[in-house]
Structure 1
C-alpha cells in the first residue's frame, strides 16, 4: 500500500453499518488518521455495544438510528462513503451520496485494491461459500497461507493485514455493487447466475451486471474461471478483458476443466480425482470441485494437494446436510437455498422428496419451481411466501401450509413414504421467521431430532 493510501489525515469517512465489516473498515481508517463516523440503524443487535465502545475509545463518532432526513447532512462534506454490504442502492444514504458526488466504495473494493498479495475472488448465485472454502483448503494443503475472507472467515480488511500468501474472497452481488475500477482480482471465479435479490438490485439485468463486476476491471494477465454450462455466464465471459478458463460437467465438453471417463481432469487431461473416490458426487458438487481446482491450480496449488483437499472435504452446514432418518425417510437440511435456483438444484438430486419451502421472497417469480413436481411427493409451504408456494404447485403436487417449523416437519413426515427425502430447501430468505438461514436450519434440525426421538409428541 502506498504512503498516500495510508495517510487519510484531514479526510473524513462515513461508514454505514456496525457489524464485523463496518468495525474492520472503521478501525482501518482510524489507523490512517481519518475522521470516522459510523452509523448504525439497529443498535440493539447482539454484540453491538462492544463494537461501539471499542470504536468510541479509538476516536470514532457513532450515530445511532438516524431519521431519513438526517442522511443528507451526514453525507455532506465526507470524502468517502463505505456502506455495509446490505445497504441497497435505494437507501437514502446512497441516494444522498450520488446527489452530492461523494465517492462510494465497499470494503471488498478497498481491500482488494490495496492488497499486496494475489486475490482470488469468487461469486455466483449459488456455491460461493463452498468453492471459496475449497480453494483455501487446496492452497493450504500445498503449504501456502490462504485466508478465506469476505462473506466467510475474516472481514476482508482485517484479512488484508494478516500474513497471508493468498486471499480467497467470497464476494456477494451486494459487495460487487460498490466496487470500482480498482477491484482487479488476480483470479476471478464466476460460478453461475440465476434470478436472486431482484428486490435489492431492482431487476435481474442489474443483478447480472453487478455479478459481472467480478472480472470487469481485471488486467490482461488476470484470469476469469467461468462455468461453460451456464449460458449467461458463458456469454459474459466473452467480454472478459483478461484470460479465461472454463469448467464444465457436460460429458461432451472438450476443453477446460471437465469430466472424462469418471474422472475430473485438467485442460491438458491430467487426472485430478476419480469421481468414485469423492465424498460429494452430486452434479453441483462436481461443478464446484472443478471450479475450485481451476482457481487453486492457477494460484499456486499443486495437483496432489488439490486431490487431497477434494477427498477430505465435508459438506458445509445447511447445504444439503443429512440430519437423520425415521422409518425409511431421510431428513435433509438445505436452509442455505435462499433462491429458486438453489432449490431446483437440490431437489434434482433426489428421486422422490417432500419439499419444505417458503419464507420471505426476494422479488422472484416462484412459479419456476413448478417443474419440480415430477420429483415431489408433496410440498409444505411456510412463511410469508406460503401463498406463492401454494400457487406454484396448485394442481400439480399436494401442498399443505405450516405456520411453524414443528408443524412443517410433522406435515412433511406424514406426506412421505419409505425411501423418500424430507428436504428443507426454502427458495426464499429466512427473515420472516428467523434472523438468518443458519437459525432457520438449526430450527429445522431441532424439530427433526425431536420428531425422530418422539419428544414432540
Structure 2
C-alpha cells in the first residue's frame, strides 16, 4: 500500500472517539489534511499540523462539500448536518475495506454480535489462523489494515452498515433481528434495511451465514452466487439435534450439550453461528469444538454474579431490547426480573410474553412508569418500583426464595442512571457481592 495514499486529499471526520482518532491517524499517515468535527472539543488538541479539531462552524458545509472523503463515526445521529451536505459519507468499515486485501468476516444482528465475533476469532486462532476481532467490539479495523493477518472478524453495527458503498465481506453473519435503535434509524424499516446491507455487495465465492430459525433473517434474499449456510435450533447446516442433545454440522454431532459451560438457548445459537462462520473460512471442527466447550461467556451477558440463600443472581446489563430480555429469561423458570432504564423508542409490551416465567417485576429508571403501565393488566404478577439499583437488588433479595433467579436484564439503555451498560452491570455485581458478604453465599 502506498504510504501516501491520500497525498494532497482533504478529509473530514465526524466524531473524535476511538474510531475518529484511528481514522484520522490513518488518513494523516497517508498524506491527507484532516478536519475533525466533534460536539465536545473541550480538552482536545491537534497532535499533528495536518489535523484540525473543531466544533461545527461557519465553514462546516464548505469543508464537507470540498472534502475528498467524509468519515462518520458510529452513532453520529442521522439528524447531524453531515448527512445533509455530504454526497457519500462512509464508515470506518468501508474505508478499511478499500485498503486491505485481508478477508473479512462481518457479524451483525440485534443481539449476540460481540459474543459471536469473539467466538469466531477464538475458533480461527485455535485453528492456527492469524485473526483479529475488530469493529464495534472495540478495536478499530483501520488501525490494523497494515498488519499481516489471515482474517479480520468485524462486529458491524447498523450505524456502520448504513454508510457503506463497496464493503464486501468474504463471510457475512446475521445473528438475529428485533426492533432496536429506532430512534437513530427513525423507524424499523431503515434499521432492517441497514442490517441487510451486510450482504449487498457479496457475490460468487462469498458466504452468507444466516439464522434460519429467525423468520425475518431467514427471508432475506442474498445476491446470486452467494453460498447460504443456515444455523439455528433445528435441522440446519449447523443445527441442534434434541435427541442427541448435540450441536451438529451437516447432520453430524460435534459438541454435546453436556460438554458446554453455557447452555441457554441463545448460547446454543451463538455457538452455532460462530461455528458456521469459522468453518466456512477455514477452521477445522476439532478446533471449533474446543472453543465451544470452554466458552464461559462475556461480561454483562447473562453473567453469573453469585448465589445467596439458594437464589442465583445474573447480570445481563447488556440487554437493551425486549428481545434480548426474552432470550435471557427463556433459560430460567422462576425469575425476579429487574428491568428498565432509558428507552430507545422501542415498544416494551412484548415483555408481557414473559409473565409465565416471572415471579416479580422490579421496574427501574426512566421507563419504570411505562413498565408499570404495561403490566398493570396482569394482577397475578407483583410489579414494584425501585429508586436505585441497591433498592432493586434489596427488594429482590427480600422476595426471592431458594430456586429463584434474580436477573438484571433491563431491556433499555443505561443512560438515565449510568454512563454505560458496563457501569450498570458492575454496580449490580458489586451490590450482590456486598450482600453475599453479609448473608453468605458463593
Distance in 2, matches of 1:89 and 1:410, equals 40
TM-score (norm 2): 0.94
Does the CA-based 8 Å contact 1:355-1:425 persist in structure 2? yes
Please give the per-residue CA displacement for 1:44-97, whole angstroms capped at 9, x wherever unaligned. 5xxxx5xx44x5235301104x36x66434423122211110112221222232
Whether 1:305 and 2:290 are equivalent positions in the alignment is: no
Please name the residue that 2:226 is paired with: 242
Please name the residue that 1:258 is paired with: 239
Please name the residue that 1:345 is paired with: 327
Q: The residue matched to 1:112 in structure 2 has which SS? A: helix
Please name the residue that 1:60 is paired with: 51
- Note closer, same or farther for the CA distance 1:443–1:25 as it changes in structure 2 (3 Å cut): same
Q: The residue matched to 2:47 in structure 1 has which SS? A: helix
Distance in 2, matches of 1:320 and 1:117, equals 33
| Candidates 126, 135, 147, aligned match of 2:111 | 126
Whether 1:434 and 2:418 are equivalent positions in the alignment is: yes
Whether 1:176 and 2:165 are equivalent positions in the alignment is: no
Whether 1:361 and 2:343 are equivalent positions in the alignment is: yes
Whether 1:158 and 2:158 are equivalent positions in the alignment is: no
Distance in 2, matches of 1:432 and 1:80, equals 36
Distance in 1, matches of 2:138 and 2:148, equals 15
Please name the residue that 2:186 is paired with: 202
Distance in 1, matches of 2:341 and 2:386, equals 11
TM-score (norm 1): 0.91
Please name the residue that 1:93 is paired with: 82
Please name the residue that 2:12 is paired with: 14
| Candidates 306, 309, 330, aligned match of 2:312 | 330
How far is 1:117 from its partner? 1.1
Whether 1:107 and 2:98 are equivalent positions in the alignment is: no
* Divergent runs of 4+, >3 A: 237-241
- Note closer, same or farther for the CA distance 1:247–1:6 as it changes in structure 2 (3 Å cut): farther
The range that moved more, 125-134 or 276-285, is 276-285
Please give the per-residue CA displacement for 1:383-439, whole angstroms capped at 9, x wherever unaligned. 111111112211322111112111111122223222111100000011111111101
Distance in 1, matches of 2:219 and 2:412, equals 27
Please name the residue that 2:61 is paired with: 72
Distance in 2, matches of 1:156 and 1:9, equals 21
- Note closer, same or farther for the CA distance 1:7–1:238 as it changes in structure 2 (3 Å cut): closer
Distance in 2, matches of 1:241 and 1:444, equals 48
Distance in 2, matches of 1:415 and 1:112, equals 53
How far is 1:43 from its partner? 3.5
Please name the residue that 1:406 is paired with: 390
How many residues align structurally?
Answer: 435
Distance in 1, matches of 2:41 and 2:426, equals 25
How far is 1:230 from its partner? 0.4
**What is the aligned-residue RMSD (CA, Å)?**
1.8
Please name the residue that 1:271 is paired with: 253
Distance in 1, matches of 2:198 and 2:353, equals 32
| Candidates 347, 350, 355, aligned match of 1:373 | 355
Distance in 2, matches of 1:302 and 1:123, equals 23
| Candidates 120, 123, 136, aligned match of 2:121 | 136
How far is 1:240 from its partner? 6.4
Please name the residue that 1:41 is paired with: 39
5+ long unaligned stretches in structure 2: none
Whether 1:185 and 2:169 are equivalent positions in the alignment is: yes
Does the CA-based 8 Å contact 1:56-1:62 persist in structure 2? no
